[in-house]
Amino acid sequence: MGASLWFNAQPLSLPLIHLPVDACGVLLPGESRRILIEREDDLAALNEMQFACVGVLPTTPHCARVSTLLNVRETRRQEVGALIEVVSVGRIHASQIEHDRCFTAHARPAFDGRAEPDIDIRKLVAELRSTAEQHDTIRRKLRSTPLPVRIPGSFLSDEVGTLSGMVVPTGRGTHPGSWLEQECARMREELCVTDLDAAPAASLERLHALWGVPDEESAELLLLSFAACASLTATQRALACGTLDTAERLRYARRCLLEGTSQFSRASTRVAAEYGSMAQRVATDKMRQERKGH
């Protein structure tokens, strides 16, 4: 993977590109995307990149100079610009940002700190999974209603604040399990595809050093914390990316889930009332029609 080569080489500077401004915001590790590059400085950044890696120009105050490292898996030159496929493979501290032909920065990997001894990570993960299941149950209930409903912008809402239509469809199959497990599996699969023409890697081992983790279990935990934040709003995703504490990110994701679940519950109550009112009106109209018939 280009990212591991970039980490081992530790080049002094990293070219940066702009990401389109939309509901996605930053790309979290494990998310992939196709981007049409048209700006001259972004095209110059592609020409300057080493090991097929570029950074994302920090444009939001929520990241506090923490940005993402992109592995460019494919580049297709167009009549105007270039269409690239990228996958976010990690986070970087971007400092001393300069601009000549393109934006460049002094970049070093951004690691999550070690968890405090008194923090029970397993408990945090269990609480997150439980809250995610409750959230998804209500969401599915809302989606099954016969009334047209605009689901509040939160996890897995296709209407508001998600990556729907922006994540690259890999065509590599679906995954069993809960939505959180599915999201983890999808992001893990993206990270294991280092080259579109090569066989996928069997593990995340090549990212351990870049992520500052000692083993695969720690890498999977870090990935879970990002998967739980994948469908948040752009601002929330930026905060999750800039948080250099896995436990805090897990707590933050759960807080957002609880807020979304509360929104869903209120929407479910409103929908039930509206459906009951509509059913009552239909029954009343039917009775009136029957009376007129007699």
- The tens digit of pLDDT for each residue in 190-237 reads 999 877 777 888 999 999 999 999 999 999 999 999 999 987 888 888
Backbone angles phi, psi at 164, to 5 degrees: -55, 125
Q: Domain residue spans in the chain?
A: 2-109, 121-270
pLDDT digits (tens, 9 = 90+) for 29-66: 999 999 999 999 999 999 999 899 999 988 766 565 78
Cα of first residue to Cα of last residue in the chain, in angstroms, is 79
At 56 the pLDDT is: 92
pLDDT at 110 over 90: yes
At 277 the pLDDT is: 64
Least confident of 35-39, 250-254, 267-271: 267-271
Name the range with the highest mean pLDDT among 135-144, 199-208, 257-266.
199-208
At 260 the pLDDT is: 77
Which residue's entry shows tokens 């069993």?
Answer: 176
The CATH code that applies to domain 2-109 is 2.30.130.40
At 276 the pLDDT is: 59
pLDDT at 24 over 80: no
Query: What is the spatial distance between Cα 84 and Cα 89, in angstroms, rounded to a whole number?
Result: 15
At 268 the pLDDT is: 57
In Å, how far are 84, 137, 217, 260, 278 from 60, measured between CA atoms? 23, 33, 31, 24, 45
* Both tokens assigned to 118: 């008194």
HSE value, Cβ hemisphere, 13 Å, CA-based, for 112: 24
At 155 the pLDDT is: 38
Which residues on neighbouring strands pair with residue 50, listed in sequence order? 53
Q: How would residue 170 be classed by pLDDT, with cut points 50, 70 and 90?
A: very low
pLDDT at 285 over 60: yes
At 68 the pLDDT is: 92
Query: What is the spatial distance between Cα 206 and Cα 80, in angstroms, rounded to a whole number?
Result: 35
pLDDT digits (tens, 9 = 90+) for 86-101: 999 999 998 888 999 9
